[in-house]
Amino acid sequence: AAKKQGGDQLSLYSLTLDEAAQNAANMRRTLEKGLKNHTLVLHYQPIVNSFGGVSGVESLIRILDPEQGLLGPAAFWAGLDHHRYARDLGIFVMDAAFRQGQTWQQQGLFLRVSINISAHHLLDARFLSDLEAALGKYPGLAPEQIEIEITESAPLHDLSQAQERLDACNQLGVRIALDDFGTGNASLTYLQQLPAQSVKLDQSFVRDMINDPKDLAIVAAVITASRMLGLDVIAEGVETEAHAKLLAKMGCSHLQGYLFAKPMPGEDIPLWVQHFKGLGLGLPSHSSIDI
Ligand code: C2E
Ligand code: MG
Ligand code: MG
Ligand code: MG
């Protein structure tokens, strides 16, 4: 830090790069430790439909560190899409999320379960057998209840391979969602080429749509295009009632965000679902699941 203050432009730059590399290495180590010590856990965030029903949950990875407590992806971001960990992580997530989904099912709670899968795992030759093995382990859960979220922010280097893989997932009955839609530089290509059933509108557009007419136009365009293609639209980062009402009015079929619930441990989901009342959306409340 002392060097940073006194240094010229060049050394400041290289120091920053160095810090960034250190930081990334630390993040990768944090994830590696989590995998090795079995301290990874999944939390689940409800996804509601615009009629006020609960349609599913998204699983989100955390590390329960013995010293630091619960760590979110920000603490190990650089590891999430790293080729070295992508498959082990994906296998953990499939197993934990499907097991939880089957448990809810046995409790009479029928939910769609979304999982995040990195591009590296999707493009790994073993991806489909990993998926089938996990599905086979939890026969109480129908493949139709699973949705795989593929983020747009990490490039799919081999689009035709990705397309084939995702087609095969669809063949199994598993659904595909395009995550963080609008943030990558291939949104429309993905929409055109990949066999998705849902589009997840990134929270950056949702957040500012009330004040920024450009964001509002993008939100409207994504909703319109998705509906024309027969896809669900899930708005991420819905934090206020004003956002929820506007999105529902614009025809957005599904909403997810802190307004409804923050991610929580799986065992808390049944009670949350029981108490969920459509939260002031002014929309009819019913417990139907739209699978
Ligand atoms: P994502 O898949 O787009 O997940 C949504 C993120 O937005 C989650 O952050 C969630 O907690 C947060 N969020 C939800 N509602 C709100 C809201 O109303 N306001 C705000 N400000 N944020 C909200 P989280 O859990 O920190 O995860 C961050 C990202 O990490 C995820 O973004 C996903 O890209 C990645 N990730 C999470 N779990 C996994 C996983 O199991 N595997 C992989 N490969 N990536 C994961
Ligand atoms: Mg996601
Ligand atoms: Mg997302
Ligand atoms: Mg996102």
In ligand 1, the atom with minimum distance to the C-alpha of 256 is: 15
Sequence-distant (6+) residues with CB within 8 A of 149 are: 58, 114, 115, 116, 117, 177, 178, 179, 200
C-beta 237 within 6 A of ligand 1: yes
| Interatomic CA distance for residues 177 and 42, integer angstroms | 19
* Residue 272: per-residue pLDDT: 96
pLDDT score of 81:
84
3-state secondary structure at position 290? coil
Cα separation values, 37 from 26, 33, 60, 127, Å: 16, 6, 19, 23
CB 186 within 8 A of CB 119: no
In this prediction, residue 12 carries a pLDDT of 57
> What residue type is assigned to position 173 of the chain?
G
ipTM above 0.85, yes or no: yes
CA 14 to chain centre: 34
* Alpha-carbon gap, residue 72 to 43, rounded angstroms: 10
Determine the pLDDT at residue 152. Answer: 83
CB 240 less than 6 A from any atom of ligand 1: no
Those residues whose C-beta lies under 8 Å from the C-beta of residue 237, and which sit 6 or more positions away, are: 202, 203, 204, 206, 207, 256, 257, 258
pLDDT at position 251: 95
Q: Nearest residue CA, atom 4 of ligand 1?
A: 60
* CB contact set of 257 (below 8 Å; sequence gap of 6+): 203, 206, 235, 236, 237, 238, 239, 243, 244
Looking from the CA of residue 180, the nearest atom of ligand 1 is: 3
Atom of ligand 1 nearest to the CA of 90: 42
The DSSP bridge partners found for residue 65 are: 69
Instruction: Specify the pLDDT at position 9.
Output: 53
Give the per-residue pLDDT at 7. Answer: 45
Q: Where are the alpha helices (DSSP H) in the chain?
A: 2-6, 9-37, 77-80, 86-106, 119-122, 127-137, 159-172, 187-193, 203-208, 213-228, 241-249, 269-275
| pLDDT on residue 279 | 55
Q: Would you give per-residue pLDDT tens digits along the chain (291 residues)?
A: 334 444 455 555 566 888 888 999 999 999 999 999 999 999 999 999 988 899 999 999 999 999 999 999 999 999 998 999 999 999 999 999 999 999 999 999 999 999 999 999 999 999 999 999 999 999 999 999 999 999 987 788 899 999 999 999 999 999 999 999 989 888 899 999 999 999 999 999 999 999 999 999 999 999 999 999 999 999 999 999 999 999 999 999 999 999 999 999 999 999 999 999 765 555 544 434 454
For the chain, the C-alpha Rg in angstroms (whole number) is 20
pLDDT at residue 176, as a whole number: 98
- Residue 121 · residue 94 · CB < 8 Å: no
Q: Select from 116, 207, 254 the residue to mutate for testing ligand 1; criterion: most ligand atoms less than 8 Å from CB.
A: 116
Q: So what's the pLDDT on residue 284?
A: 45
Give the span between the Cα atoms of 199 and 223, in whole angstroms: 9
Backbone angles phi, psi at 155, to 5 degrees: -65, 140
Q: Look at residue 281 in the predicted model and tell me its pLDDT.
A: 56
> Ligand 1: does its nearest atom lie under 6 Å from the Cβ of 257?
yes
Dihedral sign for Cα 161, 121, 136, 106, please. negative
How many Cα atoms are found within 13 Å in the side-chain-facing hemisphere of 193?
Answer: 15
Distances from the Cα of 279 to the Cα of 50, 103, 150, 163, 257, angstroms: 11, 26, 29, 38, 12
